Structure 1
Amino acid sequence: MYPYLVHDGPIAMAHRGGALHPDNLGYENSMHAFAHAVKLGYHYLETDLHATSDGVVVAFHDHRLDRVTDSTGVIADLPWSEVSKARINGHEPIPLLAEVLDAFPEVKLNLDIKADNGVLPAAEVIRAAGALDRVCVSSFSQARVRQIRRELGPRLATGLGQQEIARLRFTPFPVNSAGACLQIPEVYGRLRVLTPGLLKRAHALGKQVHVWTVDDPADMHRLLDQGVDGLITDRTDLLRQVLQARNQWT
C-alpha cells in the first residue's frame, strides 16, 4: 500500500482546510484554515494548485484571484510578485505549496492540480521537499494525472483520472490502473458516480474510494456504512463528530 494511504480507520480529509467550518468562513485554502484543521486533529488536508506565470506553485482553487481575495486577475498570467500581494478575505496571504509542506510535516496532503502549467512546477516542489510519500496528486484532467505519474514515478500516490474512473464505473471487466484511489463525488449532475458495483470493483483492485464533498452528518454515516474509505469535507467539525460517535476518529 502507498504510505499516503496508511491510516487507522476511515480517512478524514479537510477540503480546502475545512472551508465551511464556522471559524474558517472566507478563508479557504489559507494557512489559517489549514492550521485550524490540524488543530482539530486532521491528518489529511486537501488543497488545489495553480502556478504563476513565473512557475511559483500556490495553494488556491480558482484560476482567478477575484472571488476570495482583494485582488483580480488570472494566476497563470501574473508573476508571483503580484500574486503575493493578494489577501484571502482581505487578510491572509495565498500560501505556497512549499510553505504548506514545510509548516505541517506530519500531515498528508491531497493536491488537485487545476491547470496544465502547474504540473511540472508542482512535481519539482514535491521532489525538493522530499514529500513523495505524504502527498496524493489528483486532477480532473487525465493528461495531467499521466504527466505527474511520469514525472514522479510509481511511488507517488495519485487519484484515478476521469477516463480511468469511467472505465471502472461502466466496464464489467476494467483494466487495472496505476492510480492509488478514486476521489469522486457521489453524484455528478445527473450521473450517479458512486455505486455498489464501482466500490466493489475498486476494492477488488486494491483502490481506496474517497468521496467529496460531504458536509451532512447523515450522508457521512450512510457512506461510511457503505464501506467508503474516506470522506472529504468542508465541515471539519461535523465529520470529526461523526467519526467520534462511531469510535473511528484517530
Structure 2
Amino acid sequence: MAAFEAAVALGYRYLETDVHVTADGVLIAFHDDRLDRVTDGHGAVAELDWAEVRRARVDGREPIVEFGELLVAFPEARINVDPKHDAAVRPLIAAVRDARAAERVCIGSFSDARVAEIREAFGPAICTALGPWEIAALRAAAWGARPFLGRLRRRPGRCVQIPQRGRWGLPLVEPRLIAAAHELGLPVHVWTVNGAAEMARLLDLGVDGIFSDVPGVLKAVLTDRGEWHPSPGQSASGADG
C-alpha cells in the first residue's frame, strides 16, 4: 500500500498492479507468483491461504493488500490491472463489480482468453488493452498489412500496452506501430521503463503513457518537458500527474 500512497502523494492519478489469487480465493495486489523474492515469506501465492500471505512483509515492512482495498483506498485513482493467471479473472470481476469501479479500471493481459472473459463480463463498460493477438495484428498493420486495421476497428480494446520488445527480442515500440495505433484512436502505453533518457526517447517517439517503478524520475522527466499536468483539485505548483 505504501508504494501506491507514495505515487498518489506525488500527484499520480494512474496506478498499476498485477493481481494473483490465494488458495482460498482472495485476490491480492502483488507482482510475483511467489512470496520469496520481495517478502520475508515463502511459497507460491496460489498454494497459500490468505491468512499465510497476509503475514508476509514486502521488504520486511509492508503487508500485502487485497486488491479490493486499493479500490476503496484510492477512489479517485484509475487503476491498471494485469490478472497474472486464469484463476484471478473471476475474483477480479467480482472485486470490480463490488466496488462499482469498472469506469476507473483498465485490464491488460498476456492472455487473449483472459481479456475476452473480462470483455464478456463487462462489455463496453470497462477499459481493456489489446490482447496478444490484437497486438500481433497491429504490428502486421504497421508493416503494411492494412486489412488488419479494419479488423481492429471492430475490436473493443481501448489502448495498446506493450513492452519495448516482444518475443525473440523483436522491437515493438516503433514509429510505425505508434502511428497505426493512433490511426485507430488508441493511446500507446509502454512498460516497464526506469531510465530518464529512455523515458524521454519514448515520449519523443509519441507514446502516450509509461509504466515505471520510479515515479519520481518519470515525474521529473515530464516536468522538464512541460508535460506534467495538475491533477483535479491541485494547484499547478503542487503535486500533480
Provide TM-score, normalisation by structure 1.
0.85
Q: Which residue of 1 aligns with 2:193?
A: 214
* Runs of 4+ deviating beyond 3 Å: none
Helix, strand or coil at the partner of 1:225: helix
1:7 matched residue in structure 2: none
Structure with the higher fraction of residues in helix conformation: 2
Q: Secondary structure at the match of 2:189?
A: strand
Q: CA deviation at 1:187?
A: 2.0
The superposition leaves residues 97-138 of structure 1 with CA deviations (integer Å, 9 ceiling, x where unpaired) of 111111111111000110110000000000110111111011
2:80 to 110, 118, 121: 110
Q: Give the whole-Å Cα distance in 1 for the aligned partners of 2:34 and 2:100.
A: 29
Matching residue's letter, 2:157: G
Task: State the secondary structure of the residue aligned to 1:233.
Answer: coil
Query: What aligned pairs does 1:82-231 form with structure 2 within 5 A after superposition?
Result: 82-171=52-141, 172-173=145-146, 174=148, 175-176=151-152, 177-188=155-166, 189-231=168-210
2:20 aligned with 1:42: no
Give the whole-Å Cα distance in 2 for the aligned partners of 1:78 and 1:35.
Answer: 27
Matched with 1:81 is: 51
Deviation track 1:117-163 (CA, whole Å, cap 9, x = no partner) reads 00000000001101111110111111111111111221110111111
1:153 is paired with a residue whose SS is helix
Match of 1:249 among 224, 228, 235: 228
Helix, strand or coil: the match of 1:199? helix
Supply the distance in 1 between the matched residues of 2:203 and 2:22 (Cα, whole angstroms).
Answer: 38
1:241 deviation in Å? 0.7
Deviation at 1:39, TM superposition (A): 0.6
Q: Secondary structure at the match of 1:244?
A: helix
Structure possessing the higher radius of gyration over alpha carbons: 2
Q: 2:52, 2:123 → 1: CA distance?
A: 33
**Identity value in percent:** 50
Separation in structure 2 between the aligned mates of residue 133 and residue 60 of structure 1, nearest angstrom: 22
How many residues align? The count is: 220
- One of 61, 64, 77 as aligned partner of 2:31: 61
Q: Which runs of 5+ in 1 are unaligned?
A: 1-30
Please say if residues 184 and 210 of structure 1, whose CA atoms lie closer than 8 Å, have aligned partners that are also in contact: yes
RMSD, aligned α-carbons: 1.1
Q: Which residue type is aligned with residue 186 of structure 1? A: Q
Residues 142 and 162 of structure 1 are in contact (CA less than 8 Å); yes or no, is this contact kept in structure 2?
yes
In 1, the alpha carbon distance for the partners of 2:43 and 2:89 equals 21
CA apart distance, 1:217 = 1.6
Q: How much does 1:74 deviate?
A: 1.2
1:237 aligned residue (216, 226, 230) = 216
SS at match of 2:124: coil
More moved, 188-197 vs 226-235: 188-197
Question: TM-score, normalising length from structure 2?
Answer: 0.88
String of CA shifts for 1:47-95, please: whole Å, max 9, x gaps: 1000112211100111111111111111112221221111111221101
Higher strand share: 1
Cα drift, residue 43 of structure 1: 0.8
> Whole-Å Cα distance in 2 between the matches of residues 75 and 215 of structure 1?
27
